[in-house]
Amino acid sequence: MSHTIEYRAARAATRVLGGVTVSDSPLIARALEQLRQHASPYLYNHSVRSWLFAVRLGQLKRITTDPEVVAVGTLLHDLGLTPAVTGTRRFEIEGADVARGFALREGLGERQAQLVWDSVALNSTPSIGMYKEAEVALVTAGVGADFGGPEHDRIPPMEMRSILAAFPRLNMKRAFTDDICRICTTRPETTYDNFAGDFGERFIPGFQRPSVVDYLMQGPFDE
């Protein structure tokens, strides 16, 4: 996570959320409002915690990033799970398009908007996201930390308690499972190469998702 990009403007003002000092700008405030309008309470808290974890991990590792890209990427990373976003593609891609559109409308440049898109599209694919630009990698790490991922234990315990107290989990394990299983039921074709299918196989009787093996074996070739 060594790549950096030019800031769009001067360093933003800051404020403290859940004990973490984060950047504070009109764009970030509007991203929070966009999230609040569309996300259920558990998903709102999950997205804010993911942002706080991403920011804190960047601070602990002394990584320089564009704070607005990290904020928009983490805060809007699960818009594809909300009723406001519909489409036939996997939910990360649907959400990524909405997040990029938001970034462009709010004045971010094409490069920053593309990093927002990558952050959202790859947030659930850490085997790729963690090796992208610093902003994308931090969003991926922040989201993963809220799932108990490999960066989770880098957050000091006292700070973890402060973040959880300010933005409680609100039965996230069950609620997130319900949201993903809804996708598995209504759009199973979008789960063939992502983690959503894991939930379908675990929780939905008779669930079957397309397989890359099927595509190969049933391809229009003799061998």
The pairs formed by 10-15 with CB atoms below 8 angstroms and a separation of 24 or more are: 11/67, 12/67, 12/68
Burial of 127 (0-12, 13-18, 19+ CB in 10 A): exposed
Question: What are the residue ranges spanned by the domains of the chain?
Answer: 13-170, 171-223
Q: Which phi-psi region, left, alpha or beta, contains residue 18 (left: φ > 0; alpha: ψ -120 to 50)?
A: left
- pLDDT tens, position by position, 27-38: 999 999 999 999
CA distances 74 to 15, 26, 91, 143, 145, Å, are: 17, 16, 15, 7, 12
What's the confidence (pLDDT) of residue 7? 46
Q: Which residues make Cβ contacts (< 8 Å) with residue 84, sequence separation at least 6?
A: 37, 38, 98
pTM: 0.92
Q: Which fold has domain 13-170?
A: Hypothetical protein af1432 (1.10.3210)
- What percent of the chain has pLDDT above 90? 83
Q: Name the token pair of 222.
A: 């003799």
Is residue 54 scored above 80 in pLDDT?
Answer: yes
The C-alpha angle with vertex 88 and arms to 43 and 101, in degrees rounded to 5, equals: 60
Is residue 6 scored above 90 in pLDDT?
Answer: no
